[in-house]
Chain A
Amino acid sequence: MKFRSLRTKFIWLSCYSAILVCCKEQPKEMEVDERRELCQYDDPNIFKNSYETILGTQPLSWRRVNRTDFRLLNYAVGNATEVAVGQVDGGGVLANLNRWEREFGQDVMEDLSGLATIKMFGERDAYVIQLKGLFQKKMSGMPVKAEGWAVTGIICDIGNGSLVTVKMMGPEDEVKAEQESLMDFAKSIRINSLQRVKERSKKVDGVNQSKKGGY
């Protein structure tokens, strides 16, 4: 009789413990104090992904977002501004610049004279266009309209009929505020297959240092 009551108590205790374990409430708030040591992962120049055909030094105020069709690099800036880097095969610099002109209802250009230029990929000329006003376009079949918007577009012919485009588009005040970052970013763009890191990443005091800020 004593054994049976002991066995019964044991069984009930096991069931109660199992219920307690299963119904344990998960905490709603946690304090985080764990930090890890810096390593090569934190060096923005380290090559982590060979599927990126284009790299650039991202300004810190930009947010990298997922790549989409035709956009090799995609960033969000401020509240509503986007920066997209693409590669186009064919069409030519003038035709692509005129496409952007039409999106803002501007007259198409006859030639590239009078356009500002910057240097990309070393010594190649890249043409810069700045537009503002009413943006109208069909995106994914849906008409998109935005008043008071601006775009800064940069196109560089990298040879063999291939063009690299860098386009910042969004509310006029946000686009204006990011001009310097956009130009620095465009100048930092490089293509993986043509450029390899020849020297190892520099270590200072055991901590890896990027040559300049940003990713």
Chain B
Amino acid sequence: MIKKRKNILQYLVDFFSSYLLCVVSLVLLGLLVWFSTLEMQDIGLSKALDKYYSHKNFIVIPEINGGKSTYIPLPGAYWVCCVLFVNMLLGGIIRLRKGWRNIGVVISHFGIVSLLVVGFVDHHQSIHGKMEVFQGETYDYATKFDYTSIELSEFDESGVKQRPYVIKHDQVADLGDRMRRFTFKALPFDLEVRHFRENVVVVNASSRARGNDSGEIVDGFFLHPAKMDPSKDYFNYGCYVLVKPKNGEPSRKLLLCRSVGFPQTFSVGGKLYGIEMPNEIWKMPFSVDLINSVGEYYPGTRRPSKFQSTIAWTGEDEEREKVQTIKMNHPMRYKGFTLYQANWNEPINGLEFSGFEIVTNPADQWPKVCMWISAIGLLVHFSLKLGKYLERETRKEKGNKQADE
């Protein structure tokens, strides 16, 4: 018999639908989860997630035990999941022999493939933010996790802030010691941003406690790069900015840092401007008033056993405010936004406080559906197996009885 030669497409389909590829992908995912869990203790949760699970990283080299490299290059988890998706689609659904015997397996594989799709949607479309509320104030904004921004606003003659221009995280995060110029059509100056750092300490130049690697000193202070405390998972972003007026006025150097918390002001052409570096501000379609917040710790520890908040909130399309209690696993949902109780502190300066995590994710409820699909598939499959087994046993018994007779 002459063996038909396969073309490249057939080789690719065979390769991507093979059991071997599936096993290798699952082993790699197991390794990535293990290493990311170990490294998370050194670099913090968000950095670990970004390093191991982001689509931007093709290759990951784990570093454990305080930053020691393992010299083991692994593919990024996102790309392993892509390969697993193709493998399960081709091998687990398309090429699988269809029939009543395998219907349960096909259904559960479909559920798992859908779960991978949910993961991709979550990765690319979901946004996470944080809303910190103090009693007695109304809040209608959150700040995005680990996304800094540089905001530039003009103040009118009565000192009221105008809508700010926003330079986003992706436009400065790759800078390091380099400089990038930002231009604004309607403004009489340009901005040069340099020496961007993920985590800094603002140091008084007269103290000489730490070295100044950039050589810049602004208003008697400079930025010193600092190692992030992984337990706090807080990035204190910082950079230097040079304001360059287009009308020939002298340039102005400013120091921006997340911890300053207020705009640095300067004037150009007789108008006043402010520039600051908050985490990206995210306007919400609702406003929140904290009525009270309650928390408890496990006895003798600082581990919270429960905390909950009662809020009064008003949606932008609503006329009346609603009162709702938010606690762990009981979030508030409104127009695709989900508000989770994330953290709590005891009252400070007499003011009650509560921290919420805001998530917007089009695939928010899909994992539940996918798990149900997989569960139904497994139920069908094992029910059929059980039925076959019982039928076989019954036939065997009948056969034995007939033989005895």
Chain A residues engaging chain B, CB cutoff 8 angstroms: 3, 6-7, 18, 26-42, 44, 46-51, 53, 58, 60-66, 68, 76, 82, 139-140, 142, 192-193, 196-198, 200-201, 209-210, 212-215
B102 at the interface (CB under 8 A from A): no
Q: How far is the CA of A84 from the CA of B183 in the complex (A)?
A: 34
Smallest CB-CB A-B distances: 10 pairs: A213-B159, A76-B219, A66-B202, A64-B262, A50-B348, A193-B349, A39-B141, A29-B181, A35-B163, A39-B283
B350 at the interface (CB under 8 A from A): yes
Q: Which chain B positions have C-beta within 8 A of A34?
A: 165-166, 168
Known: A41-B281, A47-B351. A31 touches B159 (CB 8 A): no
Q: How far is the CA of A51 from the CA of B208 in the complex (A)?
A: 26
Known: A31-B185, A35-B164, A76-B219. A66 touches B257 (CB 8 A): yes
Q: Determine whether the beta carbon of B184 is less than 8 Å from that of A31.
A: yes
Known: A30-B183, A61-B265, A63-B254. A140 touches B206 (CB 8 A): yes
* Cβ < 8 Å to A, chain B residues 218-234: 219-221
Q: Which chain A positions have C-beta within 8 A of B134?
A: 47, 50
Q: A31-B183, A210-B159 are in contact. List 13 more A-B contacts (CB 8 A).
A: A3-B11, A34-B168, A38-B161, A40-B141, A40-B287, A41-B141, A47-B136, A48-B261, A51-B348, A61-B267, A63-B264, A198-B136, A213-B155
Q: Which chain A positions have C-beta within 8 A of B262?
A: 58, 64, 215
Q: How far is the CA of A90 from the CA of B183 in the complex (A)?
A: 52
Q: Determine whether the beta carbon of A66 is less than 8 Å from that of B260.
A: yes
Cβ 8 A contact of A61, one of B138, B272, B283 = B272
Q: Which chain A positions have C-beta within 8 A of B165?
A: 32-35
CB-CB nearest in chain A for B351: A50
Q: Which chain B positions have C-beta within 8 A of A42?
A: 153, 161, 164
B318 at the interface (CB under 8 A from A): no
Listed residue (A36, A38, A46, A214) with the most chain B CB atoms within 10 angstroms of its CB = A36
Known: A39-B141, A64-B264, A140-B207. A213 touches B348 (CB 8 A): no
B8 at the interface (CB under 8 A from A): yes
Q: Determine whether the beta carbon of A26 is less than 8 Å from that of B174.
A: yes
Q: Determine whether the beta carbon of B180 is less than 8 Å from that of A29.
A: yes
Known: A30-B180, A200-B289, A210-B160. A39 touches B265 (CB 8 A): no
Q: Which chain A positions have C-beta within 8 A of B178?
A: 26
Q: How far is the CA of A76 from the CA of B253 in the complex (A)?
A: 12
Q: How many B residues have CB within 8 A of the partner chain?
A: 70
CB-CB nearest in chain A for B353: A50
Q: Determine whether the beta carbon of B137 is less than 8 Å from that of A7.
A: no
Q: Which chain A positions have C-beta within 8 A of B162?
A: 38
B182 at the interface (CB under 8 A from A): yes
Q: Determine whether the beta carbon of B160 is less than 8 Å from that of A32.
A: no
* Cβ < 8 Å to A, chain B residues 138-197: 138-141, 151, 153, 155, 158-168, 171, 174, 178-185
Q: How far is the CA of A201 from the CA of B287 in the complex (A)?
A: 12
Q: How far is the CA of A49 from the CA of B259 in the complex (A)?
A: 11
Interface Cβ pair total, 8 Å cutoff: 157
CB-CB nearest in chain B for A75: B219
Listed residue (A6, A18, A53, A196) with the most chain B CB atoms within 10 angstroms of its CB = A196
Known: A35-B164, A201-B137, A213-B158. A65 touches B221 (CB 8 A): yes
Q: Which chain B positions have C-beta within 8 A of A29?
A: 180-183
Cβ 8 A contact of B220, one of A49, A65, A201 = A65
Q: Determine whether the beta carbon of B138 is less than 8 Å from that of A200.
A: yes
Q: Determine whether the beta carbon of A33 is less than 8 Å from that of B219.
A: no
Q: Determine whether the beta carbon of B281 is less than 8 Å from that of A192.
A: no
CB-CB nearest in chain A for B348: A50
Q: Determine whether the beta carbon of A37 is less than 8 Å from that of B182.
A: no
CB-CB nearest in chain B for A51: B348
Q: Which chain A positions have C-beta within 8 A of B159?
A: 60, 210, 212-214
5 contacts between A and B (CB under 8 A): A26-B180, A36-B151, A36-B166, A36-B281, A48-B132
Q: How far is the CA of A187 from the CA of B166 in the complex (A)?
A: 33
CB-CB nearest in chain B for A79: B219
Q: Which chain B positions have C-beta within 8 A of A201?
A: 137-138
Listed residue (A31, A65, A193, A215) with the most chain B CB atoms within 10 angstroms of its CB = A65
Q: How far is the CA of A139 from the CA of B206 in the complex (A)?
A: 8
Q: How far is the CA of A196 from the CA of B163 in the complex (A)?
A: 27
B278 at the interface (CB under 8 A from A): yes
B325 at the interface (CB under 8 A from A): no
CB-CB nearest in chain A for B58: A18
Q: How far is the CA of A84 from the CA of B135 in the complex (A)?
A: 29
Q: How far is the CA of A6 from the CA of B8 in the complex (A)?
A: 8
Q: Determine whether the beta carbon of A37 is less than 8 Å from that of B8.
A: no
CB distance from A124 to the nearest CB of B (A): 20
Q: Determine whether the beta carbon of A37 is less than 8 Å from that of B283.
A: yes
Q: How far is the CA of A83 from the CA of B362 in the complex (A)?
A: 49
Q: Which chain B positions have C-beta within 8 A of A197?
A: 136-137
Q: Determine whether the beta carbon of A46 is less than 8 Å from that of B137.
A: yes
Q: Which chain B positions have C-beta within 8 A of A61?
A: 265, 267, 272
Known: A36-B163, A40-B287, A62-B265. A47 touches B219 (CB 8 A): no
Hey, what's the 0/1 contact readout for B230-266 against A, CB within 8 Å counting as 1? 0000000000000000000000001101011111111
CB distance from A44 to the nearest CB of B (A): 8
Cβ 8 A contact of B261, one of A28, A49, A63 = A49
Q: How far is the CA of A210 from the CA of B161 in the complex (A)?
A: 9
Q: Determine whether the beta carbon of B351 is less than 8 Å from that of A192.
A: yes
B41 at the interface (CB under 8 A from A): no
B204 at the interface (CB under 8 A from A): yes
Hey, what's the 0/1 contact readout for B274-285 against A, CB within 8 Å counting as 1? 100010010110
CB distance from B377 to the nearest CB of A (A): 36
